[in-house]
Structure 1
Amino acid sequence: MSFAAAIVAGEPSGDLLAARMLRGLQSHDPQVKAMGIGGPAMARAGFEAWHPMDALSVFGYVDALRQAPRLIRTWRDTRRRALDWRPDVFVGVDAPDFNLRLEEKLRAAGIPTVHFVGPSIWAWRFERIHQIRRAVSHMLVLFPFEVDLYREQGVPVTYVGHPLAELIPVQPDRAAARARLGLEPKARVLALMPGSRESEIRLLASRFLQAAQILISQDPDLQVVVPVVNPQRRAQFEAVLAQYPVPGCRILSALPASGQGIEAPAAGQGAAPARADGLDTSEWPVAWHAMEAADAVLVASGTATLEAALFKRPLVISYVITPWMRRIMAWKSGQDAPSLPWIGLPNILEREFVVPELLQEAATPQALAEHTWAALTDADLAARITQRFTALHETLSRDTPGLAAQAILETSRGHA
């Protein structure tokens, strides 16, 4: 009888993580049966979705309240299906508000549970550790500093490294990426990444575009590329771009046929040459092509900041939330601010401000432009960033699929 795993992943980064994990399980049992909630990368690994990944695409408490009826229906249906099926293990990939509640119910019913990606209790809501103890049979963490934290709290834990460190090349090929995108090989290129959620684009896109306008006034040949995750976010961003036009701004979309890939190069560019390292980039998220091609990245805080660091690019991190959301977060967490002085993953991992963070009122177009100009033009800064983030890449590089699969299989064998 084949191994059975129910899996829930709620956004693009979780989809990639879960797909790698699933392939690790398949190396032990090629007939693994995996069902639940997931995205295109998981589907290509043989996953059967009960609900699409977009069903969980909300951000924070405000969006969750707005989408509450749909989320509750999805949660209840997923719980019912998992309890009826009784898989060997349930794996929740990130999405802690959804998954921890689900894991608590399933574990109480005798189904072993694994949570992949430790919630950032080291920054917000440490009291969540009590729910984690009840809900999680085994925690898989992506960063080495998290091991002691969970172990000290009595939660079985395994450091599996970050799969992005395996998927992203240690030595990016900027020239090959520019050829794939049809970009000028010698021009400065800025990857503009205001986020993948509706609220992020609503609050950040206008600031980022105004910053880009300032930068283009300093360098008229600057090429700006904006990767978007789906047609809805593209339409939303295009509406903002119409208000704050940036000459030559290129919006990069996934190809509808495959759910991945990039738009064809501009007319006259011809076929893109092969990479020097022979790496297959056909299944890369569109944002990775933009980051590999770029000289610098202006990016919303989130997983994309770590991706930019692994591509060894100078980056500027920004984030803005509404006053209402800020009050709700403070009330829910009992904190006015994170426990750490940093919000960007590269800075958290390095324990210092390696790259600038411009948050809330500090995220003015002028300030964003000034810091991004330095990221685009300072050769010494670029060299320091490359050295620093190469060492980080090596730290995070582990056999993530194999380590995750081993921990999941051991948990399913009665370590609940």
Structure 2
Amino acid sequence: MTVKIAISAVETSGDLIGAKLVAALKAQDIDIQIMGLSGDKMIAAGCVQLWDQKRVNVMGFSEVLKKLPALLWLRRTVIGYFSTNKPDVFIGVDGPDFNFMIEKRLKQQGIKTVHFISPSVWAWRQSRIKKIKKSTDLVLCLFPFEVEFYQKHKQRAVFVGHPLAETLQPRVNYQATKTILLMPGSRASEITRLLPEMLTAAAMMAVQDPQLKFHLALANDELLGWAKPLATKANVSISIGDAHQWMSQVDLVLVASGTAALELALLGVPMVVVYKLSAFSYLIASRLVKIKWVSLPNIIANKPLVPELIQDAANGENIAKHAMEILTSDVTTLTQAFKEIHQQLNLNASEESARLISEFIYERPLHKYE
């Protein structure tokens, strides 16, 4: 009998992590069909794409408002489809604001629900735990400190490690290349805010050290026409969709806050993290956030391993200053801290998550994993 799994991954990072989960589920010795809202990597792993995640990939309060009608329509469509074509389990991959409502509606119909990648409920909008309990039967957590929060609120949750730690290994015997990588994010809104500041920083750094080379890695070609003239003028080379090939070959990365910062930490690459929202989005977010840091390396280590330049501080001059400080200092202690993060998260997360989901489908107990 075919096991039917519904899945919804709404961001580029969710597609990457979701693809590993899909592959692990497919590798199990069961007849399985996985379908839903996905990106290209999940398709390649064996997921049947019913809806393209590009419809949902937006950032910030004001940006979401602009696409709200389309987002609501898509969510209703997903709920309607899986209400009629009932799966054995629905898995929401990240995207809590989009996926929790789907999970809630399907759970009300007796469909089992799993949320893979806990939202940062421990960091901000902690009242969301009420919504999570109504929506999700099981939360799979990527970080160990998350489980304690859920246990306190009597929500079933398991720490599985991080899938990225399975494939990203700390680089060994790295030799400096004098190359700096620019990664301004995957969404149009963050790229348009951050890239001009990164290019300004690159120009200032080149004056201080003419041997430095700069490369811009765009996640997709959506803004290529806008970005290419700016990069060319700044003497910065540019490519699309190959950031992972560049990450381990550079001395430093100027990176938008998000999953990419964690990827760099797992590889052991120094970075300067930048974060910038619209004024409206930042006003709201700054009142809700309950943690000291915004980047995952700092949050996991519970100390400031990497510089974080937020909002007005995320300007070219500041970026250049912090970047040059890193380039001219000994990073041995930093790379050792990155290795410790890798060891902590490297638990074969995809296989473990697939096993737990299978046990959950068949009503087998989770035993010690609860």
2:261 touches 2:296 (CA, 8 Å); kept in 1? Answer: yes
Alpha-carbon distance between aligned partners in 2 of 1:347 and 1:228, rounded to the nearest angstrom? 24
1:172 to partner: Cα distance: 5.3
The alignment partner of 1:232 has SS state of coil
The counterpart of 1:190, out of the listed 173, 176, 180, is 180
Q: Aligned-pair RMSD on alpha carbons?
A: 1.7
Which of 295, 300, 306 is the matching residue for 2:256? Answer: 300
Residue of structure 1 in register with 2:238 after alignment: 251
User: Structure 1 residue 28: deviation in Å?
Assistant: 2.1
Q: Which has the higher contact order (CA 8 A, sep 6+)?
A: 1
Counterpart residue number, 1:291:
247
TM-score normalised over the length of structure 1: 0.84
* Paired residue type of 2:340: A
1:311 Cα deviation from its structure 2 partner:
1.3
Percentage of pairs with the same residue: 36
**Aligned residue type for 1:309:** A
Superposition pairs for residues 249-398 of structure 1, below 5 Å?
A: 249-254=236-241, 286-329=242-285, 336=287, 338-378=289-329, 380=330, 382-398=331-347
Alignment of 1:129-278 (within 5 A): 129-171=129-171, 187-241=177-231, 245-247=233-235, 249-254=236-241
The one-letter amino acid paired with 1:156 is R
Q: Any idea what the Cα deviations from partners look like across 1:51-104, whole Å, max 9, x if unmatched? A: 112111111221111111211121111111111111100000000111001100
Shift of 1:30: 4.9
Name the SS of the counterpart of 2:255 in structure 1: strand
**Partner Cα distance (2:63, 2:191) in 1:** 14
Please list the CA deviations of residues 207-257 of structure 1 after superposition, one character each: whole Å capped at 9, or x if unmatched.
111000000111222111111111113233225436xx322x111213xxx
Residues 29/81 of structure 1: CA separation in 2 closer, same or farther (3 Å cut): farther
1:327 offset after TM fit, Å?
3.0
Q: Contact conserved, 1:38 with 1:49, CA < 8 A, in 2?
A: yes
In 1, are the aligned partners of 2:61 and 2:280 still within 8 Å (CA)?
Answer: no
Partners of 1:246 and 1:173 in 2: CA distance: 31
Structure 2: unaligned runs, 5 residues or longer:
366-370
Distance 2:281 2:27 in 1: 43
Letter of the 2:125 counterpart: R
8 Å CA contact 1:195–1:299 kept in 2: the answer is yes
Q: CA deviation at 1:152?
A: 1.2
CA 1:355 to 1:90, structure 2 compared with 1: closer, same or farther past 3 Å?
same
TM (normalized to structure 2)? 0.94
**Deviates most, 404-413 or 203-212:** 404-413
Contact 2:23 2:46 in 1 (8 A): no
**Residue 399 of structure 1: CA displacement?**
1.4
Residue 289 to residue 377, structure 1, CA distance change in 2 (3 Å):
farther
Letter in 2 for 1:338: V
More deviation, 345-354/287-296:
287-296
Amino acid at match of 2:4: A
Give the Å deviation of 1:174: 5.3
Aligned partners of 2:129 and 2:153 also within 8 Å: yes
1:410 pairs, out of 355, 359, 362, with 359
- Counterpart of 2:275, as a letter, is Y
Matched, 1:12 2:12: yes
What pairs with 1:119-134 in structure 2 (closer than 5 Å)?
Answer: 119-134=119-134
SS of 1:150's equivalent in the other structure is helix
Give the secondary structure class of the aligned counterpart of 1:119.
coil
When the two structures are aligned, how many residues end up with a matched partner?
A: 365
Distance apart, 1:337 and its partner CA: 5.1
Partner of 1:91: 91
Superposed displacement of residue 117, structure 1? 0.5
Q: 2:24 — aligned with what?
A: 24
Aligned-partner Cα distance in 2 for 1:360–1:329: 11
- Encode CA deviations 1:282-333: one digit per residue, 9 max, x unaligned: xxxx211121111011111111110111111111111112221123435xxx
Q: Distance in 1 between matches of 2:125 and 2:226?
A: 32
After TM superposition, give the deviation of residue 414 of structure 1 in Å.
4.2
Matched, 1:401 2:350: yes
2:182/2:217 contact within 8 Å kept: yes
SS in 1 for 2:248: helix
